[in-house]
Chains A and B, each alone.
Chain A
C-alpha cells in the first residue's frame, strides 16, 4: 500500500522536550498539509507545502512549531519546548497538486498521537 504514512504513531514526552514527526506522502504528490486534531474537535489546518515551498501557515503555528519539506518529498514537523496544550493528534495529508486546489483530493495519513506529560 502506498498511502500517506506517519512516524511515529504515538509519542509520549515530558513538558519542555522537543519532538519531531515525519510524514511520507503518496509518491508524486506535490502538496503536503499538516493538521492538528484535539479530542472532540475536527482537524485544524497548520501549514501547507507545494513541493518544497511552505506556502501558508496558520496562526495556530506558533514560533515553537516548524515544518520542513526539504526535497519536496517527506516532511517533518518539529515542536520545541513542548507544552501540555500541544497534546493532540497530528495529521498529515497529501494531494497531487495538479488541479485547482478545491478539486484536489487530500489523502490523510493515520496521524501521530502526541501526549505531553
Chain B
C-alpha cells in the first residue's frame, strides 16, 4: 500500500528564509511523487512532480524537491520565502498514475 507522511502540520518561516517542507512516502514499487499548493478558497495547484529521470525537480514559484530513494523522501524547498508563499502544501504519491494518495498537508506561514 502507498502512503505519504508530512512531518509538521504547521511551519512558520521568516520572509527571506529557507522553506523546507518534509514528505516521506511508503511504496513497494517506484513511485510518482507530487507537491500541490492550495491557497485559501482556491483549488489545488501542481507545484512540481517526479516521475522518472533527474531526481532534483524544479517547479513553479522557485520551489524544488529532491527524490531520495534511500531515504524515501521528497522534501520541498525554496531558498527564500515570500509572503505570497503562505498556503497549504500537500505531498502526494501514485504508483498506478490514477490513484493519488495525499498527505495531511502542511500549512506554511510566512512572517514579515
Point out residues on A near B: beta carbons under 8 Å.
3-4, 40-45, 48, 55-56, 58, 91, 93, 100-111
Contacts and interface: CB of A to CB of B under 8 A. Distances in A.
B96 interface: yes
A40 B9 CA distance: 9
Contacts of A58: 99
A72 to B, nearest CB: 17
A43 B104 CA distance: 8
Nearest to A92: B43
Interface of B: 4, 9, 32, 36, 41-46, 49, 51, 90, 92, 94, 96-105
13 contacts: A40-B104, A42-B92, A42-B102, A44-B102, A45-B100, A56-B98, A58-B99, A91-B44, A93-B44, A102-B51, A102-B97, A107-B43, A108-B43
